């Protein structure tokens, strides 16, 4: 009986999930298409580009609407069991509410894992193509690829600070370069270069018009050279280019490598770290929110499905508010990044467990 019951709940939930996901996807797609059509008409892009631009956004729209669809499917599934007195029959057969939660936990975990890999593989690829179109036609609201970046500063290790006045992405060239070397927290050497150019064959930076100053016993020794190729810097043009991309264009693993490189170079990577951790947190939202739907449906037997659906939508907005609130606190340094991105999930997981225990009683 138990296996048949699990199969019944699986089927009922997944059928409802497909319908709710399709409904949200159609609504979001139409809204997105209308909004993009306005952007396309304001640019030099052909009208057909609006449809392609919106179609490329379908994977992202599906992934962000999935938690809402999951919550609605959970509420509708159990509200239907209540409405048709199936829940009463199940309990009469000796099956507790806790046992009914088990298949939902399994579904929540599977959907969360699916959401993560779908987002990091399918959504990332479509997002990159979408941003390429936006940049190509300079669509309103699109982040254009910067040709230059000014005032780059980072610390490489504990004893070397590097600053670049301006970096040109196309030429892979930095100008007004300054490297400071420290020993026992005291400056003992400084290098100034007019340019630093990346050499593809040697995979290293070539410094031009170099002035090297060494400070020893209150004396300053000055050395000059037209070209220096013996200075190794971990930061590469690829790293600088990645830093110029949006987090939405980078996968979880790319972001992880990027954040580690920034932190190794002494650059504040808090916001990037938050975006990195949020990718897992957002996927896990599906697991948390699927549990919330159970007590919302069985806790108010006489309220009906319509009330449950309304409460589900309201809960989704509140849940999203807690997620953004946690991110904001993390970005402001009030909370650690890992605490901030998991704040919403943690609060609602505890809440869902408490409501399930209360519903059981």
Q: Is residue 240 part of a domain?
A: no
Q: Is residue 188 part of a domain?
A: yes
Count of domains in the chain? Answer: 2
pTM recorded for the entire structure: 0.70
Q: Is residue 342 part of a domain?
A: yes
Q: Is residue 262 part of a domain?
A: no
Q: Is residue 245 part of a domain?
A: no
pLDDT at position 48 over 60:
yes
Rounded to an integer, the average pLDDT of 275-285 is 91
Question: What pLDDT does residue 194 have?
Answer: 94
Together in a domain, 20 and 43? yes
Together in a domain, 154 and 30? no
Q: Is residue 265 part of a domain?
A: no
CA dist 328 to 184, 268, 296, 333, 346, Å? 38, 16, 29, 9, 16
Together in a domain, 226 and 173? yes
Together in a domain, 17 and 132? yes
Q: Which domain holds residue 211?
A: 148-234
pLDDT tens digits for range 110-158: 999 999 999 999 998 888 888 777 767 666 544 444 577 777 777 776 7
Together in a domain, 126 and 153? no
Together in a domain, 42 and 90? yes
Report the distance separating Cα 63 and Cα 121, nearest Å: 12
Residue where one domain finishes, among candidates 219, 234, 249: 234
pLDDT tens digits for range 235-271: 788 767 665 566 667 788 888 877 776 676 566 778 8
Together in a domain, 177 and 223? yes
Together in a domain, 65 and 81? yes
Question: What pLDDT does residue 144 have?
Answer: 47
Residue where one domain finishes, among candidates 178, 205, 234: 234
pLDDT at position 289 over 80:
yes
Q: Is residue 259 part of a domain?
A: no
Report the distance separating Cα 225 and Cα 208, nearest Å: 8
Together in a domain, 290 and 222? no
Together in a domain, 70 and 113? yes
Together in a domain, 175 and 207? yes
Together in a domain, 197 and 286? no
Q: Is residue 345 part of a domain?
A: yes
């Amino acid at each position: 009986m138990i296996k048949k019951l699990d199969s019944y709940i699986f089927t009922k939930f997944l059928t409802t999930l497909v319908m709710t996901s399709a409904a949200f996807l159609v609504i979001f797609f139409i809204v997105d298409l209308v909004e993009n059509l306005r952007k396309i008409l304001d640019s030099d892009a052909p009208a057909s580009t609006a449809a392609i631009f919106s179609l490329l956004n379908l994977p992202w729209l599906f992934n962000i609407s999935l938690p809402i669809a999951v919550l609605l499917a959970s509420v509708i599934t159990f509200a239907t069991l209540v409405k048709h007195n199936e829940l009463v029959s199940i309990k009469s057969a000796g099956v507790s509410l806790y046992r009914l939660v088990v298949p939902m936990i399994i579904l929540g975990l599977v959907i969360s894992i699916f959401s993560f890999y779908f987002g990091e593989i399918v959504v990332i690829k479509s997002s990159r193509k979408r941003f390429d179109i936006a940049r190509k036609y300079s669509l309103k609201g699109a982040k254009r690829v910067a040709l230059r970046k000014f005032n780059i500063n980072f610390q490489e290790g504990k004893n070397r600070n590097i600053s670049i006045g301006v970096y040109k992405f196309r030429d892979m060239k930095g100008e007004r370069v300054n490297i400071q070397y420290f020993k026992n927290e005291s400056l003992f050497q400084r290098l100034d270069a007019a340019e630093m150019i990346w050499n593809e064959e040697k995979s290293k930076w070539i410094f031009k018009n170099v002035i090297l100053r060494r400070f020893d016993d209150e004396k300053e020794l000055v050395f000059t050279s037209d070209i220096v190729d013996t200075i190794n810097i971990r930061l590469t043009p690829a790293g600088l280019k990645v830093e110029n991309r949006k987090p939405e264009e980078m996968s979880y693993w790319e972001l992880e490598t990027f954040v580690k490189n920034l932190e190794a170079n002494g650059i504040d990577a808090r916001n990037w770290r938050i975006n990195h951790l949020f990718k897992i947190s957002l996927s896990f939202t599906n697991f948390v929110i699927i549990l919330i739907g159970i007590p919302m449906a069985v806790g108010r037997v006489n309220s009906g499905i319509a009330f449950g659906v309304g409460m589900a939508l309201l809960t989704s907005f509140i849940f999203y508010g807690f997620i953004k609130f946690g991110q904001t606190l993390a970005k402001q340094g009030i909370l650690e990044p890992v605490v901030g991105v998991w704040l919403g999930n943690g609060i609602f997981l505890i809440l869902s467990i408490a409501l399930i225990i209360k519903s059981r009683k």
